[in-house]
Amino acid sequence: MPVLGAELFAEAERIKARYPQGRERSAILPLLYLAQSVEGRVTREGLKEVADLLGLRTAEVEAVASFYTMLRLRPTGRYVISVCTNLPCALGGAKELYREAHDVLGPGCEDATEDGLFTLHEEECLGACDAAPVVQVNFANYDRISKERLVEMIDALRRDDPPPPSRGAFPGDFRKASRILAGLEPEGDA
C-alpha cells in the first residue's frame, strides 16, 4: 500500500521545489512530515517512499529520521502530549505533572495507549519558560498547567474536544499537525 498516493505525490514534488535545483535532499524533513501526516507515524514504507523521492537508500533516510524526536518511528497516539520537565518547568512542579500524566495514561504510554489516543513524551525546554510548567499537545502550547488541569485536558481530548491552546489554533490530530509541519495547509486538497 503506497503511503503517498497520487495527490500527495504532487505535494511531495512541490515540497522538493522549495529548495534549489540539485539540493532536493533538503526536503527530507518536510517529506518525512508528509509521510507522517498519512500514517500518524513514519513507517518503513514511508521511509522507503521518501528515499525513492530523493534518490536515496532507505537506510540513509532512516538515519536522518531516527535523529529527530518529532519524527515518530514508534507507535504513536492521536494526541502527542509533551510535558517539559527541564529546569524552569521543574521549578514549577513539572516532574509531578509528568508523573500524574503517566499515572493517568498508564503503562506503555511513551508509545501509544491501547485505545490509540495518546502518546506521552517527556520533553526538553519548549521555549516558553515564563509559562512554566508547559505542556504541548500536538505541538500546540498550554501555559501554566496544573495536575488538575492536565487531567481535565486529557478528559477533553478523550471526548475529541481539544481545549483551545494558549496561543494559536489547535492543529488537529497528530496527522494534521504533521501536515502543518510539512509546510502545507492544515486541511489541504489530499
Partner 1 sequence: MSEDPRILTAYWDEPDTVWIGRYVQTGGYKGLRKALKMTPQEVIEEVKASGLRGRGGAGFPTGVKWSFVPQDTGKPTYLVVNFDESEPGTYNNRELIERDPHEFLEGAIIAAYAVQCRTAFIYNRGEFLHPGRVLERAVAEAYDKGFLGTNILKSGYDLDVVLHRGAGAYICGEETALLSSLEGYRGQPRLRPPFPAVEGLYASPTAINNVETLANVPHIMVNGAKWFAGIGTEKSPGTKIFSVSGRVNRPGNYEAPMGTPARVVIEEMAGGISDGKRLKAWTPGGSSTPFLTADHLDVGLDFESIAEAGSLLGTGALIVTDERDCMVEACRRLLQFYAHESCGKCTPCREGTWWVTRVLARIENGFGKPEDLPLLSELGDNMLFKAFCALADGAVSPISSTLKYFLDEYEDHVRLGRCPFADRPAEGAEPEGPSGDEEERREAPGALAALEALAEPETPRPIPLSEVLR
- Per CB under 8 A, 73 contacts partner 1: no
- Per CB under 8 A, 149 contacts partner 1: no
Nine cell digits for residue 148 = 488538575
> Helix or strand or coil: residue 17?
coil
As measured in angstroms, the least distance from the Cβ of 24 to partner 1 is: 8
Peptide bond into 107 cis (omega under 30): no
- DSSP H helices, 17-82, are 28-39, 44-54, 58-65
- Per CB under 8 A, 21 contacts partner 1: no
Instruction: Please report, to the nearest 10 degrees, the dihedral formed by the alpha carbons of residues 81, 73, 188, 180 taken in order.
Output: 50
Among 9, 86, 188, 190, indicate the residue that binds partner 1 (CB under 8 A): 86
Task: Please list every residue from 94 through 133 that binds partner 1, using CB under 8 A.
Answer: 95-96, 98-99, 102, 122-132
- Residue 141's DSSP bridge partners are 136
CA nearest neighbour of 123 among 94, 91, 83: 83
In this complex, which beta carbon is closest to partner 1, that of residue 6 or of residue 127? 127
Among 32, 105, 154, 157, indicate the residue that binds partner 1 (CB under 8 A): 32
- Per CB under 8 A, 71 contacts partner 1: yes
- Per CB under 8 A, 188 contacts partner 1: no
In this complex, which beta carbon is closest to partner 1, that of residue 1 or of residue 78? 78
